Amino acid sequence: MNLALKDIRHHFARFVLTTIGIGLLLMIVMGMGGIYRGLIREATLLIDSIGADLWVVQGGTRGPFAEVSRVPATLEDRALAVPGVAQARRFVSHTIQREYRGRPLRFVVQGLAWPGDRGDWIPVVAGRPLRQAHFEMVAERSLGLPLGEKLRLGRDVYEVVGLTQGMVGSGGDGLAFFTVADAQAIQFDVPAEATRLERAARRARTEALDLGKTQPLLLERSTGPVSTLPVLAPPQVSAVMLTLQPGADAAQVVATLKTWPDITVYSSAQQTELLLSGMVDKARRQLGLFRVLLIVISTIIMALIIYTLTLDKIHDIAMLKLMGARNGVIVGLIYQQALLIGGLGYGLAYWLGLFAFPRFPRLVVIEPADLLSLAFIVLGISTVASFLGIWKSLGVEPNKVLS
């Protein structure tokens, strides 16, 4: 190691620049793995936080996290009648983007099945949970909405009564919690002119029917609000979440629900698997490919640097051989330098990551297992990178010192 340290002091500037470059590359490699784990955590955060045992979705679909699912809100009452079901909650979730103080504000509107679900499971870090059935919201802190802020969404104004942290959707957008009724009002809000045109179109269709001509009262009813028309169903929800009673047989509950032809039932584990095998899978493969490319690039760069350093030492290596130094001493000199570059670059990558990763727009999760695996990868990179320099040094003849 003494020879390696002496040579490093002789080429200190090159060694420092090489270490910094390798450290930056390794930080990106580390970040790629952290971004992938962050994607998984963000994608599954809502499913894990809600804690439902079963998800009842539209028949023939894969649930609201994989595709569009629509079920009637009355399914909540039907599910409660199944033996073994303790609680049924409607699930409404959609993403909106609005203008807020001159900047775009994008977030996920998450509906709580009020009054059964008041959001007690939400980690509120400031303010309080929802206490009213309408016009209140709990927002994720990253949205930049202060407590007491009033936000107009559709025709209504909602007050921020609580702030949460770390609650984001699968796309990385912050969550905002409303009651289901408010979430649906936001989702299905249309301009007043569109409502007027739709009512006029309903009246025209009714007038074209014989029933509309013989019963003029129907013409008046057709121009009223949708909620007053018995032939039109209320807005549908995305899914119904079920919580089973303690000791209930989940298989028996699922078997009962499967006899209903209009719905499909999934466990929380199955919903998570559907989510990860769909949206997250392509991101995982793409990040993995970039990670492999960066590892290859890091190996090539280290190999070229070690080879260049070896060329600069040709005269010194020939002198060592002329003095009787064994090949092991020469190999150790080069290999130790490669290990120092890799080890210091790894430490630099970790140190830079502590400051950089928390400031990324998406969550970056670095686990101890990832750090350990990357340490072994760096060891392999250093070993492979030293081969070219070792091969060159072993081919140096002692009489080279005379040239």
What is the average pLDDT across 209-233? Answer: 63
pLDDT score for 7: 62
pLDDT score for 212: 60
For residue 158, the SS3 value is strand
The torsion region of residue 70 among left (phi > 0), alpha (psi -120 to 50) and beta comes to beta
- pLDDT surpasses 90 at 351: yes
pLDDT score for 1: 43
Give DSSP secondary structure letters for 177-239.
EEEHHHHHHHHT---HHHHHHHHHHHHHHHHTSHHHHH-HHHHHHHTS-GGG-TTSPPPPBSE
- pLDDT surpasses 80 at 199: no
- pLDDT surpasses 70 at 402: no
* 145-185 tens-digit pLDDT: 999 999 999 888 999 999 998 888 877 888 999 999 899 88
pLDDT classification of 242: cutoffs 50, 70, 90: very high
- pLDDT surpasses 80 at 81: yes
What is the average pLDDT across 129-138? Answer: 91
- pLDDT surpasses 60 at 373: yes
Q: How far is residue 321's CA from residue 329's CA, in Å, rounded to a whole number?
A: 10
For residue 398, the SS3 value is helix
pLDDT classification of 282: cutoffs 50, 70, 90: confident
- pLDDT surpasses 70 at 249: yes
pLDDT score for 178: 94
Token code pair at residue 161: 């009564």
Q: Which amino acid is at 364?
A: V
Cα-based distances in Å from 76 to 57, 80, 81, 207, 243:
11, 6, 9, 37, 12
Cβ pair 9, 332 in contact under 8 A: no
* 321-338 tens-digit pLDDT: 666 667 667 777 777 878
- pLDDT surpasses 70 at 235: yes
Q: How far is residue 185's CA from residue 195's CA, in Å, rounded to a whole number?
A: 14
Q: In terms of DSSP H, where are the helices of 208-365?
A: 210-214, 216-222, 250-257, 268-312, 314-322, 327-356
Q: How far is residue 314's CA from residue 292's CA, in Å, rounded to a whole number?
A: 33
User: Mean pLDDT score of the chain, rounded to an integer?
Assistant: 82
With vertex at residue 22, the alpha carbon angle to CA 18 and CA 28, rounded to the nearest 5 degrees, is 150
pLDDT score for 299: 78
Could you give the percent of the chain with pLDDT greater than 90?
A: 20
Out of 3-12, 68-77, 88-97, 290-299, least confident range: 3-12
What is the average pLDDT across 256-277? Answer: 88
- pLDDT surpasses 80 at 191: no
- In terms of pLDDT, which residue wins out, 6 or 384? 384
The residues facing 55 across adjacent strands are: 241, 266
* 24-67 tens-digit pLDDT: 888 888 888 888 888 888 888 888 888 889 999 998 888 888 78
Instruction: Please state the separation of Cα 293 from the chain's center in Å.
Output: 23
